[in-house]
């Protein structure tokens, strides 16, 4: 049994980007799909799709690189962990790399980036930061 599936997802993305893979396959869950959707909306990945399969479905994330092959995802770091949850109100949401990066936040309206959460005046659990 895996204790932190979100950390596993972030590690798989980090490793795939380091090896310059075109995509990465991750065991599917709704939370992981929501995180991938935020990464897609913010322009860090091309797309994410669910591949139905037996016995488990897979989430395939197409990774994004620059025109010269440079990495779009420079760093992706888990903030809130199962042993130590990190919550932030709307005024305390992290400003990642002075606005160049994003924080992914789980709110009552779903998983959002810190920019989207500020616009909707929502706080929540800070899942990870990306730049």
For 27-48, give one letter per residue: b (16+ CB within 10 A) or e: ebeeebbbbbbbbbebebbeeb
pTM given for the model: 0.95
Q: Which fold has domain 5-130?
A: Dna Ligase; domain 1 (3.30.1490)
Closest by Cα among 47, 48, 42 to 96: 42
**Residue in this structure with the two tokens 């139905």, named with its chain if needed:** 52
**pLDDT tens-digit series, residues 7-46:** 999 999 999 999 999 999 999 999 999 999 999 999 999 9
Q: Are 85 and 105 in contact (CB under 8 A)?
A: no
- Sorted by where each begins, the domain ranges of the chain are 5-130
Residue 130's nearest CA partner among 21, 33, 14, 27 is 14
In tens, the pLDDT along 48-83 reads: 999 998 899 999 999 999 999 999 999 999 999 999
Helices (H), 19-101: 30-41
pLDDT at position 1 is 63
């Amino acid at each position: 049994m895996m204790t932190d599936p979100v950390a596993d997802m972030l590690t798989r993305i980090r490793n795939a980007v380091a090896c310059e893979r075109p995509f990465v396959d991750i065991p599917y869950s709704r939370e992981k799909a929501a995180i991938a959707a935020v990464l897609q909306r913010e322009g860090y990945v091309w797309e994410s799709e669910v591949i139905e399969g037996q016995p488990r479905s897979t989430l395939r994330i197409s990774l994004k690189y620059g025109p010269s092959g440079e990495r779009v995802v420079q760093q992706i770091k888990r903030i809130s962990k199962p042993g130590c949850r990190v919550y932030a109100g709307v005024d305390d949401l992290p400003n990642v790399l002075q606005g160049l990066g994003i924080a992914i936040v789980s709110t009552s309206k779903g998983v959002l980036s810190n920019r989207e959460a500020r616009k909707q005046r929502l706080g929540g659990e800070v899942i990870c930061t990306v730049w």
